[in-house]
Amino acid sequence: MNILFIGDIFASSGRRMVEEHLQRIIGEEKIGLAIANAENSAGGFGVTPNVAQELFGMGLEVLTTGNHVWDKREVYDFLPREPRLLRPANYAESLPGSGLWVGKARNGVACAVINLQGRVHMATIEDPFRKADELLQQIPSEVKVRFVDFHAEATSEKVAMGWYLDGRVSAVIGTHTHIPTADTRVLPGGTAYQTDCGMTGPYESVIGVERQTVIHRFLTQLPVRFEAAKGWVELHAVIIDVDEESGRARGIRPLVER
């Protein structure tokens, strides 16, 4: 089966790209499960219940997030009621929501999606490596197709997670930096990997934000109000070919729509 994962959807321009291309991609690529990171989908910062429902309505089955999931308070009550909207599992258990989804793909194959967040140059939360072990023990053994969105800053931490989970999950795909990396591959144990999937949003920007505003902040160190940039928009994603019986990835390739 083919899994589609769309990198960080940024603001309304990113959502428009998903709306314009998703159904065609699902049809042409015979996608069984469509996932996207949506932590910046509401104005570039956070996600709201309405935006999440909009994205589900476009055909996405599962939404992952990251550190910005907490930016919009209205999502706090929504997270426990919508299991398809994940937050990083290694935040405190007392916080709303879950970092694990187990369900079925369009073709009826049982699948699991895990959302984790790194700790290097990010918030000091629970260990994502040990949390990954814990979550994998919770997934029924018959669920062989297992996808991980590792939302992290440091490339070293992402690469380490890929090797740590190699052979135990179908894919480990990184998000957060909004910059697509050129290391798409299948690791020896059968885990598809990419350090960062890239962003679905405005690329005439500084990782989605109006570039002159960010430059001003670097020059002055003064606080500024970040706004989503205008200009050309790209959709960045990966398509992973997974063997349904073993859960091993047979291939992975990047996808870019302009």
Residue ranges in 59-204 assigned as alpha helix (H): 128-138, 155-165
Task: State mean pLDDT over 237-247.
Answer: 98
The 10s digit of each residue's pLDDT in 151-179 is 999 999 999 999 999 999 999 999 999 99
Between CA 233 and CA 133 the distance in angstroms is: 37
Between CA 67 and CA 87 the distance in angstroms is: 8
Q: Tell me: pLDDT of 225 over 90.
A: no
In this predicted structure, what is the pLDDT of residue 108? 96
Percentage of residues in the chain having pLDDT higher than 90 = 96
The answer to whether the pTM exceeds 0.85 is: yes
Q: Tell me: pLDDT of 190 over 90.
A: yes
Confidence of residue 229 (pLDDT cuts 50, 70, 90): confident
The 10s digit of each residue's pLDDT in 105-142 is 999 999 999 999 999 999 999 999 999 999 999 999 99
In this predicted structure, what is the pLDDT of residue 103? 98
Between CA 181 and CA 159 the distance in angstroms is: 12
**Structural domain of residue 153, as residue ranges?**
2-257
Residues identified as active-site: 68
In this predicted structure, what is the pLDDT of residue 201? 96
In this predicted structure, what is the pLDDT of residue 80? 97
Percentage of residues in the chain having pLDDT higher than 70 = 100
In this predicted structure, what is the pLDDT of residue 17? 97
Mean pLDDT of the chain: 97
| 108 Cβ neighbours under 8 A, 6+ residues apart | none
Structural domain count of the chain: 1
Task: State mean pLDDT over 201-225.
Answer: 92
Between CA 236 and CA 17 the distance in angstroms is: 10
Task: State mean pLDDT over 54-80.
Answer: 97
Q: Tell me: pLDDT of 231 over 90.
A: no
Q: Where are the beta strands (DSSP E) in 129-227?
A: 145-151, 171-175, 185-186, 192-194, 201-202
In this predicted structure, what is the pLDDT of residue 35? 98
In this predicted structure, what is the pLDDT of residue 62? 98
More confident residue, 41 or 230: 41
In this predicted structure, what is the pLDDT of residue 67? 97
In this predicted structure, what is the pLDDT of residue 224? 87
> In which element (H, E) is residue 217 found?
helix 211-220
CATH of the domain at 178: 3.60.21.10
Which CA distances in Å does 76 have to 12, 55, 87, 140?
A: 21, 18, 10, 28
Which CA distances in Å does 15 have to 30, 149, 177?
A: 21, 19, 18
**Of the candidates 5, 24, 55, 6, the residue with the CA atom closest to the CA atom of residue 235:** 6
